[in-house]
Amino acid sequence: RRLNVRVNIELLSISNPVHKKDLAVRLTDDSDPFFLYNLVISEEDFQSLKSQQGLLVDFSAFPQKFIDLLQQCIQEQNKDIPRFLLQLVSSAPALDHTPVSLNVVETNPFKHLTHLSLKFLPGTDAEIKKFLANCLKCLKEDKMMLEEKLKKTEEDLTRQLSYTQQSLSEKSRELDKLKNEWTSYTTALSNKHAQELTSEKERALQAQTQYQQQHEQQKKELENLHQKSIQQLQNRLSELEVINKDLTERRYKGDSTVRELKAKLSGLEDECQRAKQEVLSLRRENTTLDAECHEKEKLINQLQTRVAVLEQEIKDKDQLVTRTKEVLDATQEQKVILEESTEEKQKHIEKLETTIKSLSAELLKANEIIKKLQGDLKTLMSKLKLKNTVTIQQEKLLAEKEEKLQKEQRESQEMGQSLRMKEQEVCKLQEQLESTIQKLEESKQLLKTNENVITWLNRQLSEVQMAKKLDSPASAHAGGRAAVSPLGMPDRPSFHSSGISHGASPLYAFQNFLEPTHSKNGNSQCPVQLNSQLLKLSRCSDTHTVPAAGHAANKENGDQLGLESKYFKKKDDSIPLRGLSQNTLNSEYLRPYLPANAQPSPKAAGTPASAYFPG
């Protein structure tokens, strides 16, 4: 089998007569209050356990290592093949008041290794009674706490109810005012906007008709002016084109004449250069002739005899000189004539250039006139564009006014939506109030059921105590303290067929219940659950709940566990508590008095782990 079991580990310090430290381990089951197994290990017992199982840990570090092993079992419990397991093994076929061994087993594919094996003894009747008393004490303390909390919650809820009712009334008034104001405001706005819309539409239509008429008149005038100007420009262009053609023809003719004159000039310049060269050659000859004359004049003195012979030769030479002089004069006259003709031709060329310049200036002026006409056209087009922009701006103003109207309509719709949201919030607040009232009624019903259960428990206790009063005093004082095992645990005492472990007076029961123990408690209180919705208590600091298998058995440890002390106060109509039978507080008696949805559920004060019970 597999069950959830709580493991409580405590380190007890005993100072009388010798200071000792003992480790107490307790196994309990939250679903079965009679399941109780105890183990007390002293330092001497731990040494024998260490030598038997080959442990490498001291007594001071053993509790923490044991807790670490339990935590590993808790981590592996939800897996299909857990690595660490807790096994509670019993020699008997069922867990029926026989010693059991708790094994921490590590599984691997090769072997199951037992890291630790501890032998536990079942709890005695006295220990089980003490444990149940502590559970009752815890329940009563929790009941008181819950009652106080209920009172506080009722007061808070009543205050909240009153406050919410006031706020609801105020908000409903504000809503009514807002609705009235909004209706009046919306009607006024709608009327105002309708009037403004009609007036604006009429104005816009009038302005539109006026602007259209003006625009058509201006368009016609501009078209007429534009056509006239285009005709004038076309006529001017045709005239300028004719003038340009004439000027180009003249230019081409002037260019051809200039070329011819340049060719003639080049020919005349060549002739002039040739004449200059001839003149130079003649001058050289003249100089040579002068030199010869001087020589001959010298020779005349010397050759007077030859003068008569040479006079004829001299006359011939004089004739030649006169001829050369005449040729020189003719060449000079031709040179002067050529220079005059070149000057006249240069003047003619200058005149032609001036005429060409004047023609180019006239062409530039014609181009400027064309540009001016084009600029006038652009200005006219810009004026037309300005008029179009003015009309577009007016249309934009109309569109903006329409958008403003649409925005105001949207704002009115948003205000209506906000009003609806506020109404929904009011509905939600009312629903919250109804849910809180239902919760209050449910908590009151749960309190009533719990009070019925507690009264029934008190009646059962009183009936058992009345039955014990009728028993013989010998059976009440027959049982003594239980013997102590070698490990320091009390053995099971002898009990009679009546089912009561040992009788005890009320004073003895409370003395055992309130024994002071100097202990470092790992689990000071054990959780008990009467109703899964209300009475869930968990006050355990260093505890571990282990799923372990077992038969329902009695449980107890040396702590002061259970219900509150106020439930042990003597009442006028109650009987003192002397002792309980093993079958007195069976869960079958509780079932008829518990509600259908409040079956006891185990609430772990520590951490749950899983343990396997072979067989």
Per-residue pLDDT band for 594 (boundaries 50, 70, 90) equals very low
Q: Residue 583 pLDDT > 50, yes or no?
A: no
Question: What was the pLDDT predicted at 95?
Answer: 66
Q: Residue 575 pLDDT > 70, yes or no?
A: no
Per-residue pLDDT band for 143 (boundaries 50, 70, 90) equals very high
Reduced to 3 states, what is the DSSP secondary structure of residue 558?
Answer: coil
Q: CB-hemisphere CA count at 13 Å for 437?
A: 8
Answer yes or no: are the C-beta atoms of 102 and 115 closer than 8 Å.
Answer: no
Domain locations in the chain as residue ranges = 5-123, 282-326
Q: Residue 453 pLDDT > 70, yes or no?
A: yes
Mean pLDDT confidence for 213-228: 91
Question: What was the pLDDT predicted at 570?
Answer: 45
Q: Please give the Cα distance from 129 to 366 (Å, whole number).
A: 133
Q: Please give the Cα distance from 377 to 391 (Å, whole number).
A: 22
Q: Which two tokens stand for residue 10?
A: 């405590």
Beta strands 84-90 and 611-612, pairing class: parallel
Question: What was the pLDDT predicted at 538?
Answer: 35
Question: What was the pLDDT predicted at 598?
Answer: 43
Answer yes or no: are the C-beta atoms of 348 and 261 closer than 8 Å.
Answer: yes
Q: Please give the Cα distance from 587 to 275 (Å, whole number).
A: 163
Q: Mind listing the pLDDT tens digit for each residue in 252-280? A: 998 899 989 999 898 888 888 888 898 88
- Where are the strands (E) in 169-328, listed by range? none
Mean pLDDT confidence for 588-602: 43
Least confident of 148-157, 270-279, 371-380, 483-492: 483-492
Answer yes or no: are the C-beta atoms of 34 and 555 closer than 8 Å.
Answer: yes
Q: Mind listing the pLDDT tens digit for each residue in 85-125? A: 888 888 776 666 778 888 999 888 888 888 899 988 888 88
Domain 5-123, CATH class in plain words: mainly beta
Mean pLDDT (the chain, rounded): 76
Name residues whose C-beta falls within 8 Å of residue 481's C-beta, 6 or more positions apart in sequence: 490, 493
What's the predicted TM-score (pTM) here?
0.30
Question: What was the pLDDT predicted at 473?
Answer: 53
Mean pLDDT confidence for 230-256: 91
Per-residue pLDDT band for 175 (boundaries 50, 70, 90) equals very high
Answer yes or no: are the C-beta atoms of 13 and 21 closer than 8 Å.
Answer: yes
Question: What was the pLDDT predicted at 325?
Answer: 86
Per-residue pLDDT band for 353 (boundaries 50, 70, 90) equals confident
Mean pLDDT confidence for 342-363: 86
Question: What was the pLDDT predicted at 576?
Answer: 43
Name residues whose C-beta falls within 8 Å of residue 373's C-beta, 6 or more positions apart in sequence: 229, 233
DSSP state of 304: G
Question: What was the pLDDT predicted at 600?
Answer: 43
